[in-house]
Amino acid sequence: MTVRKATEHARPQSDDCACRLRLWVSPAAPLSARAVVNTRAFCEAHMPGRYELEILGIAENVERAARDQVIAAPTLLRVWPLPVRRFIGDMANPARLLDGLDLKP
């Protein structure tokens, strides 16, 4: 797993990367804490070593959150491959994420 700052929708650095994800959180919120744990677990279970995950706090990155059209926390964005996909909540439903990220079960 790679957690890093990156350009908005750039192609991942690694050719074997299945997708680039951006998780917007509110650090003090329990729902956001669960979303971080669930997202990391999902990625390691379904794309081990083949994803890039960027975790950002909305309060610290207000302008960027506005550009990403984030209206709730937590929000998970699949920023690559396009089109961008959005998920809101604690990311506790792996079937929904598999389907939404276009990953085979």
**pLDDT tens per residue, range 65-91:** 999 999 999 999 999 999 999 999 999
Assigned domain for 105 exists = no
Domain tally, the chain: 1
Assigned domain for 13 exists = no
CB 40 within 8 A of CB 52: no
Amino acid at 38: N
Assigned domain for 12 exists = no
Polymer length of the chain: 105
Assigned domain for 43 exists = yes
Assigned domain for 44 exists = yes
Question: Element (H or E) spanning 100, and its range?
Answer: helix 94-100
Assigned domain for 33 exists = yes
Assigned domain for 10 exists = no
- Alpha carbon 64 to chain centroid, angstroms: 14
Assigned domain for 4 exists = no
**What CATH number should be reported for the domain holding residue 24?**
3.40.30.10
Residue appearing with tokens 């961008």 = 84
Residue 6's pLDDT is: 42
Q: Quick one: average pLDDT of 44-71?
A: 96
Q: Is the pLDDT confidence value at 15 over 90?
A: no
pTM: 0.84
pLDDT-based confidence at residue 3 (cuts at 50, 70, 90): very low
Domain containing residue 33 = 19-100
